[in-house]
Amino acid sequence: MTHFICITCGTQFREGDRPPPTCPICDDDRQFVPRSGQEWTEMAILGQTHAVVWNEEAEGIHSLQISPHFGIGQRAFLIEGPDGNILWDCLSLVDEASKARIAAMGGLNAIAISHPHFYASMAEWSMAFGEVPIHVHADDDQWVQRTIAALRPWTGETLQIGRATMIRCGGHFDGSSVLHCPWLDGGRGALFVGDTMQVTMDRKFVSFMRSYPNLVPLNASIVKAISETVRPYRFQTIHGAFPGRTIERDGNRVVERSAERYVKAITG
């Protein structure tokens, strides 16, 4: 029996003696199955060919990604906080080096995930650190492929994790969330957005889509609502889902002007 991992999106599934017939996350209209068809792997095999690479993004902010490229190539973040370490978003691989490194940093206090594309191997990450609570929005319940007792689906609009706040924005998924950490960036605040907002290639804007690979936009009222939802929180930096996608300054203003530009583009 194995917990199979979808090679296309990186999601790990409940135990089975053969791979699931399909991956619901890849079959959804927000993702895709490659032309070559669906393929599967498992943690032990992935660990032989791939590793988790760490990058120091800023004081107290470490990004983690799988190398070479795997799944959709996202990064996760190990965030050091006054109430312990938070893993924001997740990867398909848990490697021994990362386990040792995080243990040496005091272990993990919480796992918080923006949306189903980054559920990855969240159960394994939790179990590696003693059943760390995993915070995912309950509105995305149907997309969870491997349930464990440490899973803590949350409801409503915000969730406090120590001094950090998980904020539901919706849009990309009903439960799509961001994480606000007011102590980071010298107390000016940092926002971790997954692809609830996607930091654009020029790192001057964020964008908002139902589907990024299939190019399905969101409507004006949802984009305005996302911008308004994060307005009460102060943040200087914005940390996006993919390597290098970081906005270094003026985060609040960037979100405001990005929403204005987007709404103007789709309403004419």
**Own/partner pairs, 214-219, CB within 8 angstroms, 24+ separation:** 214/29, 214/30, 214/31, 214/32, 216/29, 216/30, 217/266, 218/171, 218/172, 219/266
For position 91 contacting Zn ion by CB under 5 A, the verdict is no
Task: Tell me the one-letter amino acid at 115.
Answer: H
Cβ nearer to Zn ion, comparing 8 with 207: 8
Q: In angstroms, what is the minimal distance from the CB of 43 to Zn ion?
A: 15
137 is a contact residue toward Zn ion (CB under 5 A): no
Residue 117 within binding range of Zn ion, rule CB under 5 A:
yes
Look at the block and give the residue holding tokens 């938070």: 86
- Residue 204 CB, nearest distance to Zn ion (Å)? 21
- Show the tokens assigned to 45: 């095999």
DSSP assigned state of 244: T
CA angle 102, 106, 108 (to 5 degrees): 65
Report helix, strand or coil for 260: helix
Please say which residue, 25 or 247, places its beta carbon nearer to Zn ion: 25
Please state the closest distance from residue 147 (CB atom) to Zn ion, in A. Answer: 17
Q: Taking CB under 5 A as the rule, does residue 90 contact Zn ion?
A: no
Q: Which is nearer to Zn ion, 25 or 102 (CB)?
A: 25
Pick out residues in 8-27 that bind Zn ion (CB under 5 A). 8-9, 23, 25-26
For 55-121, give the DSSP string: EEEETTEEEEEEES--TT--EEEEE--TT--EEES--S---HHHHHHHHHTT--SEEE-SSGGG-TT
Residue 218 within binding range of Zn ion, rule CB under 5 A: no
Stretch binding Zn ion (CB under 5 A), from 112-120, 222-230, 231-239, 247-255: 112-120
Segment interacting with Zn ion, rule: CB under 5 A, options 14-22, 58-66, 188-196, 214-222 = 188-196
- The Cα 194–Cα 170 span in angstroms is 12
Which residue, 91 or 102, has its beta carbon nearer to Zn ion? 91
Report the sign of the C-alpha dihedral through residues 133, 89, 22, 172, in that order: positive
168 touching Zn ion, by CB under 5 A? no
Shortest reach from residue 9's CB to Zn ion, in Å:
3
Least distance CB 11 / Zn ion (angstroms): 5
Residues forming the site for Zn ion (CB under 5 A):
6, 8-9, 23, 25-26, 117, 195
